[in-house]
Chain A
Amino acid sequence: MPGRRLVLAVLLLALGAPPVTAGAQEPFPSRPITIVAPFPPGGVADLTARPVAAAMEKVLKSPVGVVNKTGAAGAVGMQSVAVAKPDGYTLLLALSSISIIPEADKLFGRPPAFTVDQFAPIALISADPTILVVPADKPWRTAKEFIEDAKQRPGQISYSSSGIYGTLHMAMELLSQAADIKLRHVPHAGGGPALTAVLGGHVDALASGPSVVLPHIKSGKLRVLGGWGDKRLAALPDVPTFKELGYPTAEFYIWAGLFAPRATPEPVLAKLRATVREAVEDPDFKTAMDKLQTPVNFKQGAEFQAFFETDARRLAEGVRRVGKIETK
């Protein structure tokens, strides 16, 4: 009966892939790994996740894909990994905001979407300090002038950010707290609009990752006043850090790290760590990150753990001091 055979053929074709037997002994990985980027395409998380995935795919010789699960400033994607099956097939590429979100939830008395200890750190991929930029037609030439002026006119100098309690907001807040100044916050819906606002002169300042503003500094539209790193940036050797200027607590990095759900078995984590270690050495990966002007800052194990914990503590403190936004 050709008809029935056709039906069968269509059935087999359509239902595609042969069944995979699930078992404890299956070698890892035996099916595609998914890296969740909790931010929209084109952002730092996405742009880091894609080369990482490509390089891991080469090392593992097994597919590694990236999914953008966006929403609620990253909370949706992060939560989805926090509660995902801890089998190593669902990973998270998180940014600094992973430590901010649970704090902000606490502040508002909401049940937290997730907590940082729901994740097992795998590796830090990059960590870029933010830098302070102002439109070139503003009067301030140095960070000192900027801070002096802000002290003279509290609440008059405005800055844009990627969103309330977002990374760019927290960077500026840490500076405000360190220098004891008060700035006017105009939140925007993401890093792109925040940059556009400072380029158009609608706000007076912005804390931003270096790579996106470098072209505008070079073309003379923006002026850079200072950096949040613990040492000066290679690309901007003349720009002092706030640490040098006497504000040691104004330290902030936009970092990108790879995480797995907490309960992932140790052998799988070990395999993933080894894979990422090899992946960051991949020449294509290095070229991609170079072109993005995002220096690779690879850290693993205890080193990453320590970095992560210090950073989380600093941000938690920052969020608490910002407090709820007062509405008169």
Chain B
Amino acid sequence: MLTVDRLAGAALALVALFVLWQSRVLPLGSLGNPGPAYMPTVLAALLLLGGVVIAALGGDAPRPGALGFREWRHVVAIAGACVFAALGLERLGYRLTMLVVLLFLLGVVERKRPVAALVFAVAFAGGTFLLFDGVLRVPLPRGPFGL
């Protein structure tokens, strides 16, 4: 029977196998003189063991269907906002990027009134910029038009 734990255990074991596969290009060394692949190999072996045991003992865990992903829309939206921020930060500058992120989250995802969303987004993107870049002199990226 497929359970949450079986799924997770299998995934962890796969990660471990991937690491073992990737470590083969690095020198392993010996117990007395461990090379760069030594610790990763040992740890991946441990993780493999852990994954297998979790999967083996996981017969009683809940079925994956029982988890419920009702919040998936929000997860996609928020993750998307982060992707946009990561892509835009050094192209559009901090203020524009964050303005868009906040407008999107407040206006589109949370359906707040446009004026409220705009005021909040502008104040927050601009305020944090002033605080970090201006007061604390942590340089934040600027985009087109010096924004």
Contact = CB atoms under 8 A, between A and B. Distances in A.
A touches B (Cβ under 8 A):
yes
Interface of A: 3, 7, 10-11, 13-20, 31-32, 34, 65, 67, 327-328
Specify which of A13, A14, A65 lies most central, judged by the most chain B CB atoms within 10 Å of its CB.
A14
Specify which of B28, B115, B126 lies most central, judged by the most chain A CB atoms within 10 Å of its CB.
B126
A18 B142 CA distance: 12
Interface size class of B (residues with CB under 8 A): 20 to 34
Contacts of B28: 327
Nearest to A31: B146
Contact of B139 (A10, A19, A65, A328): A65
Contact of B146 (A13, A20, A67): A20
Interface stretch (B3-11, B29-37, B40-48): B29-37
B122 A14 contact: yes
Interface of B: 27-30, 33-36, 95, 115, 118-119, 122-123, 125-127, 129-130, 137, 139, 145-147
Contacts of A327: 27-30, 33-36
B139 A15 contact: no
A32 B140 CA distance: 12
29 contacts: A3-B115, A7-B122, A10-B119, A10-B122, A10-B126, A14-B95, A14-B123, A14-B129, A14-B130, A15-B95, A15-B122, A15-B126, A15-B147, A16-B95, A16-B126, A16-B129, A17-B146, A18-B146, A20-B146, A65-B137, A65-B139, A67-B139, A327-B27, A327-B30, A327-B33, A327-B35, A327-B36, A328-B29, A328-B33
A31 B36 CA distance: 45
Contacts of A32: 139
B45 to A, nearest CB: 19
A11 B122 contact: yes
A328 B30 contact: yes
A34 B123 contact: no
A34 B29 CA distance: 43
Contacts of B27: 327
Nearest to B147: A15
